[in-house]
Amino acid sequence: MKIVKVNKKETKKKITRRSLLEDKIALIESKDTLLDNDILELECLKSQLKASKRGKSSRNKGATYERTIAKKFNKKYNVELTRTPQSGGFAKKSKKADDFRGDIVTVDKDLDMLLHIECKHHKTWAMKDWLKQANSDCPKGKIPVVIMHQLQEIKEGKVVTNSDDYITLKLEDFMNLIPKEIIFKNKED
């Protein structure tokens, strides 16, 4: 075994799962002769590396969508909202962090948003799972909602479905939020 002295002034490379996979792939590929088990391991490692790239891309897409929804609320209601740090992940186990649950929170500490918002930007919708998450993560006294994005669908060069955003909530919550005057009006004779 060869011992290498490391210069303390050298910048340390951040060790991530992805960098470990890349290093292991490089190590196997550097061999003069690859055995069958090396080839299988190499294929497996490359597959894992590809999956890790997808995960980061998916997180970035979700974070961008959360910021987009926060901006839409800001534009409509003139209230500054922001993406929850780590998308609410750090607050899941803490009762003290109820103000930071969900994907979007208000910046103004004197303002309470009554909605618990979960944002979803996926190619295929998993409504049952999303509603379950929104309901289970929702603090008491808030209304759980799921805001999701529908991607534009193009077939044979023509737009079949436009890209748009939708919101889902319980019917009872909808009826409590929206007054009768907004839903019904007298017909004009």
pLDDT digits (tens, 9 = 90+) for 74-87: 999 999 999 887 65
pLDDT in tens, 29-68: 888 888 888 888 888 788 777 766 656 666 777 888 999 9
Q: Which of 52-56, 113-117, 136-140, 178-182 has the lowest mean pLDDT?
A: 52-56
Q: With 60 as the cut, is the pLDDT of residue 92 above it?
A: no
Q: How confident is the model at residue 1 (pLDDT cuts 50, 70, 90)?
A: low
Asked if residue 155 lies in contact with residue 129, where contact means CB atoms within 8 angstroms, the answer is no
> Above pLDDT 70, what percent of the chain?
80
The DSSP code for 86 is G
**17-29 vs 36-77: helix axis angle to the nearest 10?**
150
Using CA atoms, how far residue 66 sits from 26, 62, 125, in Å, is 37, 6, 16
H or E element at residue 161:
strand 158-161
